[in-house]
Chains A and B, each alone.
Chain A
Amino acid sequence: MKCLRFVIATLSVLASVLAWSGFAQAEMSEDILGKWYGLVLQLVRHTPTYSPPVASRAFAYLGVTAFEASAAGNATTRSLVGQLNGFKSVPQLVAGQTYDEAVVLHAALGFAVDQFFDNTGPSGHRAMAALDDKLLKDAAKGLPPDVVTRSTEFGHAVAKAVLDWSQTDGGSTVENMGFPMTYQLAKGPAHWVPTSTIALQQAPLLPTWGDNRSFAMPTGASCPLPPPPAYSEDKNSEFFKEAQEVFDISKNITPEQKAIARFWSDDPMLSPTPPGHWISIALQLFERNHVNLQDQVDVLARLGIAEADAFIGCWNVKYRYDFLRPVTFIKRVIDPNWEPLMVTPPFPEYPSGHSTQSGAAAAVLTQFFGDNFAFDDATHVKDGLKSRRYASFAAAAEEAALSRIYGGIHFRAAIAQGLAQGRCVGAFATALKTRN
């Protein structure tokens, strides 16, 4: 009877059978969703092009893929087609045909993950193939072969439609790990200059990312920010005071501040990156709160969209103002021997990307779980960092933003305005209509 998990146009089955099937269907699909996302978090960490903006883009498309694959045939769910920029169509189920929801979801995610992480290493490819084999065997168990074939083809078609849509957004090709081969630095003391002696990073990361097509937000410039405090070497200026604050904190940093900086460091290739961190939080809460599949794919789609839009909006502003990093100013004006706690990211400072995307992510999770929703975040336990507890998503976002000052890589204005920009971006994602 498992082939009746997901039938359209035919409701002539016993109510008791549907109830049993529905339970099994949900469990299987939730398992598939969780396992693919678990692997995606690893692939983001272990695929060298996956800097935070690139990771956010993949999370958006994977979230939309999972949502659309699950939405097909569900009368209570509204597609995102027409609500996201340039997203014009997805395949529809054929009336009267039988499909299996779990196989559809597995096929869609397997196809999408394989495509978005085609550039990962040999271990990633091996892991994708192994997981694909296992989950398909699990999902197809007891199903008629024609249902498996039809469901697989449909899942692939949904994923391909999303993939085709993704190819025109401006972010589908990332070369040289995101660093341009040539780049002309802006002149003037206020502007970004390379902050490391890594040869690849003598040009900044993804300088045109802010021009990419956004998802729910109309354009990359839809959440503008005022300029950062004007560059000044006058000790009484607002900017100098912000630089002095970063310096002073570094000289008196507490163990707790260090722990916060490290917890939200989320370095590319050493963690699931900042957007992956928030996806990880969502996955932990799904399990803890037994969130159903429909809600899981809804949250994952909105979260991915919000994060991707956040990076597009943030990068749009970053390269508009092209502002220098604390390490540049402090070494130049305050203390030539100063070193920040964290490695300074290789791109302009204002606003803080982690702040923007944390503000946007918090908006999405608050919409679903509510204000003042306390939770533990165990994202980095395997890396030896203890879990941290937060009173709300907003509190977690604020701590993520503050971590950048503790780490010595951002000024105060960048985190305050970053959070504000994130809230603006997040509102577009929370406004999406996903239910009929």
Chain B
Amino acid sequence: MRVILAIVAAALFVAQVWADPVVPRFLDETTSSGVDSVYAGDWEYMVGGGVATFDCNGDGFPDMVLAGGTAPATFYLNKSKQAGPLQFKAEISGLEVDKVTGAYPVDIDSDGIMDVVLLRIGENLVMKGKGDCQFSRSNEAWNFEGGDAWSSALAATFEKGASWPTLAIGNYIDRTQEMSPWGSCTDNWLHRPDGIKFAAPLALKPSSCALSMLFTDWNKSGTPSLRISNDREYYEGGQEQMWRMPAGEMPTLYTDKDGWKFLRVWGMGIASFDINYDGYPDYFLTSMADSKLQTLGDDKTKPTYKDIAFAAGVTAHRPYEGADLRPSTGWHSQFEDVNNDGLVDLFVAKGNVDAMPDFANKDPNNLLLQGAEGKFVEAGGKAGVDSVRQSRGAAVVDFNLDGQLDLVVVNRREQAQVWRNTNRSGHWIEVKLQQPAHNRDALGAVIEMKLGNKNVRREITVGGGLASGRNGWWHFGLGDAMQTKLRVVWPDGTSGDWQSVSADQFYIMDRAHPLIAHWQP
């Protein structure tokens, strides 16, 4: 009987993905939610504008901090009820610092309480979580040199054997070079551990005005590399970059001799997911006009990528609605399954840099739904997320724990927006990882899920996107499947057992316990 059910479920799944994707309806609940935050500032804030989402009071609901630019960052405690309207309350948390461009949640000291890294114009800050959503500066206690730069990107990992994270911080142009900012890209920093504190940062030379960074195990070697998307507007002699990061050794760049192809774009945000089920992460890169979607070539040992954005329908190069058809400007991007059909979709935040007349001023955000054979179709307008504000950072995250992914977008000079996803189609699961001792959130792990005849792989990362990071529940859409199997490949390469789980539930996979645990809000 089980076999028959499985066959029926698989057939239904196949039938669904071949049909037009279901368009989820997002309700703009900004006003009623209590969110009232603006990413403010002029030239030095033309990039940045991030949001960090994480749970800091242990209720499972993601809380968040939004960068404010020249205004202080704002922390919002999530007061939503399960499946209810989105509700947030601004509370004093210690994160209310000005000149913040981006925010990322990382449990730096592995005490089980989330810490937050604030990227800034000026000194970056590591903020220790003290519990109950209270944070305090910990630069001195953790020997973190915040520097004095225009910081614009971050990626976090725990290198092999380390009990303390490595933070890569991307820096933008030298803001003192008023008359000639071009060619003035300042060094990116690699903050590696020194025991249970940070060592002095290592300059990653050459640096090329990073706007997005991601630690990613592109070749399944067990050692993530550092991928950096750089803004060609400002570098001289630069290109997109990927650094080898063997633990305890100096990073080295992949070059054309390794198969790395010369690519120069206005790199702004990296999204990653294995969209073609070949077992290797694929990468979406936002830019101005055409975006890129890179899949690994046939030789999986070489970092040679081919661009399939045009074929997949995700160039997102101009507005898809309205009268303003000038080329687009893309920022944060994120793969998530927003309609729970078992196929990841793609959200892209859009908005003019400032008032560049050659680019769209009314540039709606994209919601590209994946359909048959890896083709994506635009649904931003129908879904209701087609805001034409100057969007920057964002997070696609389940704020009200109903299994439907909601959305928060930070806008430059205008109010941030939050949308509740009211989709009811398809099934889902959400998973949280835990490890004892160090790297408690298992950064660098891979969650694998069986769906029909496909193996869905999700790398657990903090980084990518634009100035935004998230930590907590990791979401999978299941389509019509009522059950699936999961396993975790932990950061040290150890694979857990496949475990059966039922749809529409939350699960905690704790390395200290062999059996997956059901969780309820």
> Given contacts A46-B233, A197-B309, is CB(A123)–CB(B327) below 8 Å?
no
Q: In the bound complex, how far is the Cα of B310 from the Cα of A382, in angstroms?
A: 33
List of A residues within 8 angstroms of B373 by Cβ: none
Q: In the bound complex, how far is the Cα of B181 from the Cα of A46, in angstroms?
A: 11
Question: Residue B161 at the A interface, CB < 8 A?
Answer: no
B178, B315, B317, B353: most-surrounded residue (chain A CB, <10 A): B178
Within 8 A of B (CB), among A104-128: 118-123, 126-127
Q: In the bound complex, how far is the Cα of B206 from the Cα of A384, in angstroms?
A: 11
List of B residues within 8 angstroms of A45 by Cβ: 182
Within 8 A of B (CB), among A184-243: 197-200
Contact of B264 among A134, A198, A199, A270 (CB under 8 A): A270
> Given contacts A126-B43, A198-B290, A198-B310, is CB(A176)–CB(B356) below 8 Å?
no
Report, as a range, how many residues of chain B touch the other chain. 35 or more
Question: Residue B358 at the A interface, CB < 8 A?
Answer: yes
Question: Residue B237 at the A interface, CB < 8 A?
Answer: yes
> Given contacts A118-B357, A121-B233, A383-B236, is CB(A130)–CB(B290) below 8 Å?
no
Evaluate contact between A200 and B317: CB separation under 8 angstroms.
Answer: yes
Q: In the bound complex, how far is the Cα of B181 from the Cα of A373, in angstroms?
A: 34
Question: Residue B326 at the A interface, CB < 8 A?
Answer: yes
Say what secondary structure dominates the interface of chain B: loop
Evaluate contact between B236 and A177: CB separation under 8 angstroms.
Answer: no
Evaluate contact between A181 and B180: CB separation under 8 angstroms.
Answer: no
Evaluate contact between A122 and B290: CB separation under 8 angstroms.
Answer: no
List of A residues within 8 angstroms of B310 by Cβ: 197-199
Which chain A residue has the least Cβ–Cβ distance from B325?
Answer: A181
Evaluate contact between A127 and B180: CB separation under 8 angstroms.
Answer: yes
A239 smallest CB distance to B (angstroms): 29
Evaluate contact between A176 and B327: CB separation under 8 angstroms.
Answer: yes
B287 smallest CB distance to A (angstroms): 10
> Interface code B290-331, partner A: CB below 8 Å = 1, 0 otherwise?
100000000000000001011100010110000001110000
> Given contacts A49-B358, A382-B183, is CB(A123)–CB(B233) below 8 Å?
yes
List of B residues within 8 angstroms of A175 by Cβ: 326
Contact of B353 among A122, A269, A384 (CB under 8 A): A122
Q: In the bound complex, how far is the Cα of B356 from the Cα of A119, in angstroms?
A: 6
Q: In the bound complex, how far is the Cα of B288 from the Cα of A157, in angstroms?
A: 36
> Given contacts A122-B353, A177-B327, is CB(A127)–CB(B183) below 8 Å?
no
Question: Residue B289 at the A interface, CB < 8 A?
Answer: yes
B305 smallest CB distance to A (angstroms): 13
A205 smallest CB distance to B (angstroms): 13
Evaluate contact between A121 and B354: CB separation under 8 angstroms.
Answer: yes
Q: In the bound complex, how far is the Cα of B327 from the Cα of A177, in angstroms?
A: 8
10 smallest A-B Cβ distances: which pairs?
A197-B310, A384-B237, A199-B315, A383-B237, A130-B178, A122-B354, A199-B317, A130-B179, A119-B357, A382-B236
* A positions within 8 Å CB-CB of B: 39, 42, 45-49, 118-123, 126-127, 130-131, 134, 175-177, 181, 197-200, 269-270, 382-384
5 contacts between A and B (CB under 8 A): A49-B358, A123-B43, A198-B317, A270-B232, A382-B237
* B positions within 8 Å CB-CB of A: 43, 46, 173, 178-183, 232-234, 236-237, 264, 288-290, 307, 309-311, 315, 317-318, 325-327, 353-359
